[in-house]
Amino acid sequence: MGKGWIGKVLRVNLTEGTCAVEKLNEAWAREYLGGRGLASKYLCAEVDPGVDPLGPENKLIFAAGPLTGTYGAANGRYMAVTKSPLSGTIASSNSGGYFPSELRYAGYDLIIFEGKSPRPVYLQIHNQNVKLADASQLWGQSTDRTEDLIREKFHGDAKVACIGPAGERRVLFANIINDKHRAAGRSGVGAVMGSKNLKAVAVRGNGGVEVADPQGYRTAALDSYGLLRNNPVSGQGLPALGTAVLVNIINQSGALPTNNFQFDTFAGAEAISGEKLAETYLKRNKSCLGCVIGCGRVTRLSGAAYQGSGEGPEYESIWALGAACGVSDLAAVTKANYLCNEYGMDTITAGATVACAMELFEKGLLSEAEVGMPLPFGDGAAMVKLIELIAKNEGFGQKLALGSYRLAELYGAPELSMSVKKLEFPAYDGRGLQGMALQYATSNRGACHVRGYLVSPEILGLPEKLDPQAIEGKASWTKIFQDFTAVVDSVGVCLFTTFAIGAPQVTRLLNAATGLTLDEEALLVVGDRIWNLERQFNLRAGVDPGQDTLPKRLLDEPIPDGPLRGATARLAEMLPEYYRLRGWSADGIPGEEKLKSLGLS
């Protein structure tokens, strides 16, 4: 295997209790790079898309990229790839911190988990020494406690990724937490891990990552750093206020979904903003490995109502647990965020599901008796209580643990679930941002902002300012963003760097690391290939193109307030062009010719 990749895959059969090292498929690595792309290729080759996501036939793949563990562009990322129990689509959840790089220093690019362990176990990796260890003492423990216990027992310097009680109890949006506060957050990857009785993966690696052209790599890295430092978002906004810098920006733009998308401006936004967080609970800023941005926020709560410490809340969490629920109590939002991290579940879906329940309550479809308490929008204490009930999968929390789509369906109002393909929206209303609307509808994992962050041109003006309400050209922008993001997710680079660096910089780093000789165009073809591969998985899993749509509220109900008042998502006007640009049929099916050109037929 060339440089950049380690060239090794660790295959763990949980049913048999065996661990084996195999060679990384070199041809696949060249075509899919690593991370999201390469793991998706393995998943598609080895798993029938029709499997029960929580059954032993589903596999869970941890995948680093060829740049993970190096410097240059915040290269500390990995992907957890599997079939999602929440959406039934292919899932690929990204996280940073220190764990992903340690996996590479231990000598592996990917870990493939298959089968199901008869009892709770965790994986110990100390370089070439790998074994499954008993996790009966860890089962039921919070994510931060699990890490501490593993470091005590296994290795003091081990980096850990684990599930909390939410994953053990198969909350459909349970996540995988690493380094205590970093989350492979969306799509319920933690529930899949729980279904396999796999509590944690602990790694200590004393090796390193080599690159093909060290001098070229160093120069490329320094150039990227320059761009990252001089960019207003990656060099100023994110370091100063973290992702929560967006609360005021998006609210002022009139695209901050409030009270389950009934409004798009929130009177309490200032009270839950990044500025407010910096004044109140922020202790200090923190980076992931190799990152020059440092958007992490270490916080501490020591008020009368709520106590705790941890990282965040991030922007999306602040929105989901705050504005989406009409909650303007930053202490309650921060506490709920800690609970989500400690129990191990996605803050976005958790908050959005509570918001959905609040609207069901408001509309009289859900009674106080059923919830066990009144559930009006704006009630921070009720929101925190429900988050705890979800995490423990107790009482009314059991229904919320299914996510907003199944909850709303249960009460006869599926249209009140603000989701696409059963994955809840993040913190930007697609009615206000037409590019985001198209991206939400077509994203391979449902309503997700990190498959194509059109917010960047539509609101932040990077790489150039687009009119958020215009539809012209949005199909093309969406495709390019989706394809490039697929590459970024596959090489091991943080998406946040892409405010400042683009295909030229990523191509240079990738080529210098691996010895590949791709040009920018070829790099985007890789992204297109990954996108189509995921699409094929979804189609075979029964997620038909009819689901490339948005909730009725976004399509038919104009925004009632704020600067974008009157806007609806003009999806029908953009979708045909998008399908055409993708080379798909008018029904959204990738044709034989298209697939052949990508080497997918």
Partner 1 sequence: MQKLIRIEPSKCVGCKSCELACSFKHRGMFAPSRSRIVNEVFLDEAKFITVTCMQCDEPWCLKACPKGAIGKDAVSGVVNVDEVKCVGCRTCVSACPFGMITYQESSRKADKCNLCAGDFPECVTFCPTRCLTFSEEDKPLREKVLRFVNTMKDGQGEV
Q: What type of residue sits at position 70?
A: T
Please report how close the Cβ of residue 595 comes to partner 1 at its closest, in angstroms.
37
Does residue 288 bind partner 1 (CB under 8 A)? yes
Per CB under 8 A, the list member of 14, 130, 184, 292 interacting with partner 1 is: 292
Per CB under 8 A, the list member of 32, 62, 78, 98 interacting with partner 1 is: 98
Q: Which stretch binds partner 1 (CB under 8 A): 174-182, 340-348, 429-437, 453-461?
A: 174-182
CB-CB contact of 134 with 356 (8 Å): no
Distance CA 37, CA 530 (A): 5
Q: Which of residues 307-326 bind partner 1 (CB under 8 A)?
A: 309
Closest to partner 1 by CB, 292 vs 348, is 292
Q: Which stretch binds partner 1 (CB under 8 A): 35-43, 285-293, 373-381, 394-402?
A: 285-293
CB-CB contact of 298 with 284 (8 Å): yes
Does residue 208 bind partner 1 (CB under 8 A)? yes
Does residue 278 bind partner 1 (CB under 8 A)? no
Closest to partner 1 by CB, 285 vs 398, is 285
Closest to partner 1 by CB, 288 vs 401, is 288
Q: Is 284 helix (H, G, I), strand (E, B) or coil?
A: strand
Closest to partner 1 by CB, 152 vs 557, is 152
Closest to partner 1 by CB, 328 vs 511, is 511
Per CB under 8 A, the list member of 77, 83, 180, 186 interacting with partner 1 is: 180
Please report how close the Cβ of residue 96 comes to partner 1 at its closest, in angstroms.
10
User: CA separation (Å) from 45 to 9, 25, 306, 538?
Assistant: 15, 12, 48, 14
Does residue 209 bind partner 1 (CB under 8 A)? yes
Q: Which neighbouring-strand residues pair with 177?
A: 162, 183
What are the start-end ranges of the H helices in 372-497? 380-392, 397-400, 404-410, 434-442, 455, 474-491
Question: What is the number of other CB atoms lying within 10 angstroms of the CB of residue 353?
Answer: 34
Closest to partner 1 by CB, 98 vs 306, is 98
Please report how close the Cβ of residue 516 comes to partner 1 at its closest, in angstroms.
18
Structure tokens at 525: 């073809």
User: Which DSSP helix (H) or strand (E) runs through 91?
Assistant: strand 90-95
Please report how close the Cβ of residue 323 comes to partner 1 at its closest, in angstroms.
27
Does residue 280 bind partner 1 (CB under 8 A)? no
Closest to partner 1 by CB, 24 vs 288, is 288
Please report how close the Cβ of residue 226 comes to partner 1 at its closest, in angstroms.
11
Q: Which stretch binds partner 1 (CB under 8 A): 173-181, 267-275, 349-357, 392-400?
A: 173-181
What are the start-end ranges of the H helices in 69-201? 99-105, 143-153, 165-168, 189-195
Per CB under 8 A, the list member of 1, 11, 28, 210 interacting with partner 1 is: 210
Per CB under 8 A, the list member of 254, 257, 296, 344 interacting with partner 1 is: 296
Distance CA 375, CA 363 (A): 11
Taken in order 99, 100, 103, 105, the sign of the CA dihedral is negative
Residues near partner 1 (CB under 8 A), total: 39
User: CA separation (Å) from 27 to 7, 34, 530?
Assistant: 11, 11, 14
CB-CB contact of 106 with 74 (8 Å): no
Per CB under 8 A, the list member of 34, 49, 100, 290 interacting with partner 1 is: 290
Q: Which of residues 31-90 bind partner 1 (CB under 8 A)?
A: 69-71
Does residue 206 bind partner 1 (CB under 8 A)? yes
Does residue 7 bind partner 1 (CB under 8 A)? no
Give every CB contact of residue 100 below 8 A, 6+ residues apart in sequence. Answer: 64, 68, 69, 76, 77, 78, 178, 289, 492
User: CA separation (Å) from 18 to 8, 73, 351, 442?
Assistant: 16, 36, 38, 39
Does residue 230 bind partner 1 (CB under 8 A)? no
What does residue 127 show for φ and ψ, rounded to 5 degrees? 55, -120
Closest to partner 1 by CB, 214 vs 576, is 214
Does residue 154 bind partner 1 (CB under 8 A)? no
Does residue 232 bind partner 1 (CB under 8 A)? no
Closest to partner 1 by CB, 98 vs 453, is 98
Does residue 580 bind partner 1 (CB under 8 A)? no
Q: DSSP letters along 509-556, please?
A: HHHHHH-----HHHHHHHHHHHHHHHHHHHHHTT--GGGS---HHHHH
Binding mask 103-142 toward partner 1 (x if CB under 8 A, else -) reads --x-------------------------------------
Burial 117-150 (b: 16+ CB within 10 A, else e): beebbbbbbbeeebebeebeebbebbbbebbebb
Taken in order 535, 541, 543, 544, the sign of the CA dihedral is positive
Does residue 284 bind partner 1 (CB under 8 A)? yes
DSSP 330: H
Q: At what angle do helices 330-343 and 380-392 cross, to 10 degrees?
A: 0
User: CA separation (Å) from 61 to 15, 111, 454?
Assistant: 16, 6, 28
Question: What is the number of other CB atoms lying within 10 angstroms of the CB of residue 521?
Answer: 9
Closest to partner 1 by CB, 289 vs 327, is 289
Per CB under 8 A, the list member of 289, 321, 333, 345 interacting with partner 1 is: 289
Does residue 214 bind partner 1 (CB under 8 A)? yes
Scan for tokens 């895959």, then name that residue: 9
Q: Which stretch binds partner 1 (CB under 8 A): 8-16, 292-300, 439-447, 450-458?
A: 292-300
Closest to partner 1 by CB, 76 vs 194, is 76
Q: Which positions lie near partner 1, rule CB under 8 A?
A: 69-71, 98, 101, 105, 144, 147, 157, 179-181, 205-211, 214, 218, 221-222, 225, 229, 283-292, 294, 296, 298, 309
